[in-house]
Amino acid sequence: MDSSDLEEIMAPETTLDPRFSDPKAQPAPWSEATVRLAEAEVYWLTTVRPDGRPHVTPLIAVWSEGALHFCTGPEERKARNLAENQEVVLTTGSASLGEGLDLVVEGTAVRVTDEGRLRALARVYVEKYGPDWRFDVRDGAFVGDGGTALVFAVAPRTAFGFAKGDPFGQTRWRF
């Protein structure tokens, strides 16, 4: 079984919302969304503070094995929020109104502590962002110049794609 077979098995239910889509629009394929998730450089993470207020911050992330992965220092606001509530939203896209595909991924942030998996993710960070983003792995976390960073994986539960331009459309993927 290769990766395309795995993607076929894991293919989400895909629908186009006609209320927010041009009549000529077609649902965006999940395969296109995953390419864009993998290639994006900046993402916005939304977590929930213990008092229920949202917290939004930009960060870098990598797409690997069907999930977005990000890291954060254990004392940062997002890590403290995740200790209380693991439900998150990650978004990425372009600032252009006339073109592109904005993506919204909803899911649960699960801590990654397996050191083999962390070493693989550390390699993906360097491949994507370059040597300034090199991490060592120790005690179930990334370790770099900035100290220790906890790593989280967010597998999509629901995702949305907002096609901009002609035709505009809103695709929903449910897993």
Which residues are CB-neighbours of 37 under 8 A, at least 6 positions away? 63, 68, 92, 103, 105
Say yes or no to pLDDT of 1 above 70. no
Say yes or no to pLDDT of 119 above 70. yes
Say yes or no to pLDDT of 49 above 60. yes
Say yes or no to pLDDT of 140 above 80. yes
Q: Which pLDDT does position 11 carry in this prediction?
A: 86
pLDDT, tens digit, 9 for 90 and up, residues 97-115? 999 999 999 999 999 999 9
CA separation, residue 106 to residues 5, 65, 72, 155 (Å): 24, 16, 18, 8
Q: How many separate domains does the chain show?
A: 1
Give the integer Cα–Cα distance in Å for 38 and 33: 9
Q: Which runs of consecutive H residues, i.e. helices, occur in 40-74?
A: none
Q: How far apart are the first and last CA of the chain?
A: 20
Q: In terms of residue numbers, what domain contains 59? A: 3-174
pLDDT, tens digit, 9 for 90 and up, residues 68-85? 999 999 999 999 999 999
Say yes or no to pLDDT of 128 above 70. yes
Say yes or no to pLDDT of 122 above 80. yes
Say yes or no to pLDDT of 153 above 70. yes
Give the integer Cα–Cα distance in Å for 161 and 69: 19
Give the integer Cα–Cα distance in Å for 174 and 171: 10
CATH number at residue 112: 2.30.110.10
Collapsed DSSP state (helix, strand, coil) of residue 57: strand
Which is it for strands 136-138 and 141-144: parallel, antiparallel or unpaired? antiparallel
Q: Which pLDDT does position 2 carry in this prediction?
A: 41
Let me know: does 25 contact 168? Beta carbons within 8 Å: yes
Q: Which pLDDT does position 127 carry in this prediction?
A: 98
User: Tell me, what DSSP letter sits at residue 146?
Assistant: T
- Residue of 7 and 160 predicted with greater confidence: 160
H/E stretch holding 110 = strand 101-112
